[in-house]
């Protein structure tokens, strides 16, 4: 074979190998996870908000093999770096179908990173980000005041002291929506059904922290001492302290003391052994905020290719909220259920307009 021909073949071969190497270098590595989640501070194990999101993600994985990874920030300052860490991977591995941020206080971080990575899809739960300016962000909102009105209605028909309390994690508009609906429902049923013509007394305390169980317990005990016999705890992990307080205070109380849980089914937390729950329970019910449903929907739509930015709204009309019924632990009075269901219908059809601040 001609020497020049041999040289040409060698050169072509070298170029081919080099080109293949470059091709390999520019191909993104397979990403085994479809979704990335940045949880709210307080982390997993709160048996409430974060755990509800995780439940929805686990369901998406179980039913549709949608894999996900997640981070648990220790402080608000961790949000941006965690979100950006997932977004920047788009150049190194296949991009995530969706990055989900859990909690209103991630909004600034989401907006900043979403601007930097316009081709990455994002979602935030519990905050609205304008889709006109952020076309790659989906916002999930709930009508917490509507769901809270239902559990408030239960409280108004179960109180024996005519006084109910509210334990909030932070004194912010979002949490005051819970309080507003709860007190509306309690006042409505107490005035119209339980003690006709009489107004009840309401009190609210705020922990100032999502993960301070001892403070949640102390504040709840104080409300019991002050005359409240039912406390609705919308305080994240801090709300676990309300159950501790009720279990202890009930031992010496002359009347029943109750806790209403939040976000996820929490009645079992009112049992002496939450790992093997059995009656009695101090958990009267829970206001179910279906973050599990929202998370599942977000993940499924993203992988299916039907993701859309903008507002996704969950209310009573689309099962975004409900109240917990667990007849293995406690059976609500039939007359109470009838009234609560009447209120549900009235809220959906507009007969009742629930306040959103307290």
| pLDDT, block means (10 residues), the chain with 358 residues | 46 43 50 92 93 98 97 97 90 84 98 97 98 98 98 99 98 98 99 96 98 98 99 97 98 97 98 97 99 98 96 96 98 98 99 97
Residue with tokens 């508009």: 173
144-289+327-349 has which fold? Answer: Rossmann fold (3.40.50)
Which CATH superfamily hosts domain 35-142? Answer: Response regulator (3.40.50.2300)
From-to residues of CATH 3.40.50.2300 in the chain: 35-142, 144-289+327-349
Residue 178 CA to residue 174 CA, distance in Å, equals 7
- Read off the pTM: 0.88
Answer for the pair 216, 166: CB distance below 8 angstroms, yes or no: no
Give the pLDDT of residue 91: 57
Name the CA dihedral angle for 212, 215, 219, 221, rounded to a multiple of 10 degrees: 110
Question: Can you say whether the dihedral through the CA atoms of 167, 168, 171, 172 is positive or negative?
Answer: negative
Instruction: Give phi and psi for 78, each to the nearest 5.
Output: -85, -15
Answer for the pair 247, 195: CB distance below 8 angstroms, yes or no: no
Give the pLDDT of residue 10: 40
Answer for the pair 182, 159: CB distance below 8 angstroms, yes or no: no
């Amino acid at each position: 074979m001609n020497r020049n021909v041999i040289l040409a073949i060698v050169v072509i071969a070298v170029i081919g190998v080099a080109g293949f190497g470059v091709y390999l270098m520019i191909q993104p590595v397979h990403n085994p996870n479809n979704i990335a989640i940045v949880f709210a501070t307080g982390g997993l194990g709160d048996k409430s908000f974060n755990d509800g999101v995780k439940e929805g993600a686990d369901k998406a994985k179980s039913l549709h093999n949608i894999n996900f990874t997640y981070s648990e920030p220790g402080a608000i300052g961790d949000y941006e770096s965690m979100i950006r860490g997932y977004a920047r991977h788009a150049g190194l591995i296949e991009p995530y179908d969706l990055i989900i941020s859990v909690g209103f206080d991630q909004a600034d971080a989401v907006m900043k990173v979403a601007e930097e990575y316009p081709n990455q899809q994002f979602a935030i739960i519990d905050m609205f980000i304008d889709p006109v300016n952020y076309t790659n962000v989906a916002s999930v909102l709930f009508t917490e005041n509507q769901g809270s009105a239902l559990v408030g209605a239960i409280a108004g028909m179960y109180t024996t002291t005519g006084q109910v309390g509210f334990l909030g994690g932070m004194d912010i508009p979002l949490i005051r929506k819970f309080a507003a609906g709860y007190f509306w429902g309690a006042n409505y049923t107490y005035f119209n059904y339980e003690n006709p013509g009489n107004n009840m007394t309401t009190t609210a305390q705020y922990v100032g922290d999502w993960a301070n169980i001892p403070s949640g317990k102390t504040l709840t005990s104080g409300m019991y001492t002050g005359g409240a016999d039912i406390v609705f705890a919308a305080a994240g992990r801090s709300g676990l302290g309300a159950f501790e307080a009720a279990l202890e205070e009930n031992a010496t109380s002359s009347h029943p003391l109750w806790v209403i849980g939040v976000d996820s089914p929490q009645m079992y937390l009112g049992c002496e052994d939450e790992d093997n729950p059995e009656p009695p329970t101090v958990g009267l019910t829970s206001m179910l905020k279906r973050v599990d449903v929202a998370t599942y929907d977000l993940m499924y739509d993203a992988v299916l290719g039907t993701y859309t930015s903008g507002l996704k709204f969950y209310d009573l009309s689309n099962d975004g909220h409900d109240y917990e019924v667990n007849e293995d632990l406690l059976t609500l009075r039939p007359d109470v259920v009838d009234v609560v269901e009447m209120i549900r219908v009235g809220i959906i059809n507009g007969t009742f307009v629930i306040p959103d601040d307290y």
